[in-house]
């Protein structure tokens, strides 16, 4: 269930990010190129290929890895899978899933942090939608109201009758 919720939230955030990029640039080629570049930078700093604390420099660690929605998705999935399990290390010793997260992925989590990651993804999705609304409002201009932008073409339907 958590995997499906996480997957759905990632789709919502990705869709919102696409809407922001497309609303800024109307050219299809440049929108696609910008979106792919942003996605690659976010994936590189998310902590999947390299642990977040081992990322080089303050640019990759603080602003980009915290903006990337992949970070919260991966951490939530790892916490969902590892917390509550134990792993055999050798024949005698076992470690808990919490210790595995701390040592291998450098994720310190409590019981509710996977749900906090899901909440962050939801807030990112809502934030991108609000950002799209603001960008479209200023891009179209204050001459036309938002109501006129989104209304259906009622004049042609009335004339057709």
Statement: residue 73 has pLDDT above 80: yes
79-91 pLDDT, tens per residue? 888 888 888 888 8
Could you read off the pLDDT of 116-160 as tens digits, one per residue? Answer: 999 999 999 999 999 999 998 888 765 555 556 566 555 555 555
Give 58's pLDDT tier (boundaries 50, 70, 90). Answer: confident
Higher pLDDT, 151 or 12: 12
Question: Which pLDDT score, from 0 to 100, does residue 38 have?
Answer: 93
Taking the CA atoms of residue 15, residue 33, residue 50 and residue 119 in that order, the dihedral angle to the nearest 10 degrees is: -20
Contact at 8 Å (CB) between 107 and 82?
A: no
CA 54, CA 126: separation in Å to the nearest integer? 30
**Residue 92, pLDDT score:** 83
């Amino acid at each position: 269930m958590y995997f499906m919720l996480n997957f759905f939230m990632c789709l919502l955030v990705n869709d919102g990010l696409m809407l922001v990029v497309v609303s800024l640039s109307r050219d299809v080629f440049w929108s696609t190129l910008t979106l792919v570049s942003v996605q690659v930078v976010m994936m590189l700093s998310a902590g999947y290929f390299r642990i977040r604390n081992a990322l080089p420099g303050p640019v990759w660690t603080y602003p980009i890895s915290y903006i990337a929605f992949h970070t919260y998705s991966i951490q939530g999935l790892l916490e969902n899978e590892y917390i509550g399990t134990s792993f055999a290390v050798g024949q005698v010793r076992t470690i808990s899933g919490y210790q595995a997260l701390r040592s291998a992925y450098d994720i310190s989590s409590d019981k509710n942090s996977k749900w906090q990651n899901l909440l962050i993804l939801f807030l990112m999705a809502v934030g991108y939608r609000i950002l799209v609304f603001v960008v479209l409002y200023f891009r179209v201009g204050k001459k036309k109201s938002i109501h006129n932008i989104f209304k259906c073409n009622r004049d042609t339907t009335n004339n057709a009758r």
